[in-house]
Every structure is written in structure tokens, then in C-alpha cells.
Amino acid sequence: SDVTRRVGITFGYEDDIALPSRRRVTLRWHEPIRRVLLVKKQQQEAVLALAREIAAWLAAHGIAVIVEEEAISEFSGIPGITSLITGEGPHPLAAVDLVVSLGGDGTLLHASRLFRFLERGIDRLLPPCLVLGAGSLGFLATAPAEDWQSSIQYLVR
């Protein structure tokens, strides 16, 4: 499989509202999700335990899990976890199909900053984010953290 290419995504609108900023958008992956960047809130044992559970579930379902380099040791014992190392060659974030952000709004903002060096363009959108609220602020959360399995199952089916 091509590790430098992200799975294609199609966006569609669910409604007829004229203001684009208020429209509900659905998205559909053209192929199964292959690579997930898992970003978690730092220094919280409960969040780490949940992140390990999510990573193990994804890996067991054949999905490559990428975590930040400084967090790789926290995922020891889970097969197939790789660290996000930027350097020479194709940028590993260019092939991420989904970002799972486990924390609050600050964790999502941190995750978005990881993509700041990628080329942007109409055909180079940032990957979709599933925000699992496990922080003190959760205005941007897609779902509560405890609902992670049903949320992820819905996306990878």
C-alpha cells in the first residue's frame, strides 16, 4: 500500500441552508481508513489508559496507529504503534486518514498544529478529526470520550 497517499474523501451537504458556515457536512472515505494519528491530552493517567485501549482496538482491526514521538513509550506492548517522526522524505502526516484527538479543545488545537508544515491546496485538505472529549473544555468535541468505541466503529465500518 502507498504510505504517502491518504484515502480519498468525499464531502456532501445534509441540508439546503444558504450560509455555508451553517451547513451540516457529511464525509465518506472512498476506501477503509488505514492510518490514524492518535493525539492525547498529556499527563493524565485516565486519558492514557483510554488512549492505550483505543490504540489496541485500532491495531487489532488492522489500522496503523501513529502517536507523537514523546508518547511512544506510553504505548509499549501494543503491536504496530509507530511514532510520528518528521524528517527527510515524504511527511508522515500527509498519509494520515483520520486524527483521533483524546482530550479537550486544547488537544485538538495541538493536533492541528502538527500539520502546520504540510502543503495546502484544494486537493490537500487536512484529515478529518474525531474529537473525543476528555478535557476541561469540550466545545469542539464530537463525542464524549467514554463513547469512543461506537464513534470509531461508525467511522471504520
**Residue/partner pairs of 87-96 with CB below 8 Å, 24 or more apart:** 90/3, 90/4, 91/117, 91/118, 92/3, 92/66, 93/37, 93/118, 94/4, 94/6, 94/118, 95/2, 95/3, 95/4, 95/5, 95/6, 95/35, 96/6, 96/35, 96/36, 96/37, 96/66, 96/127
**105 annotated active-site:** yes
Facing residues of 103 across strands? 133
Catalytic residue among 15, 16, 97, 105: 105
Q: CA 39 → CA 17, 80, 93, distances in Å?
A: 33, 16, 12
Point out the residues that are catalytic.
105
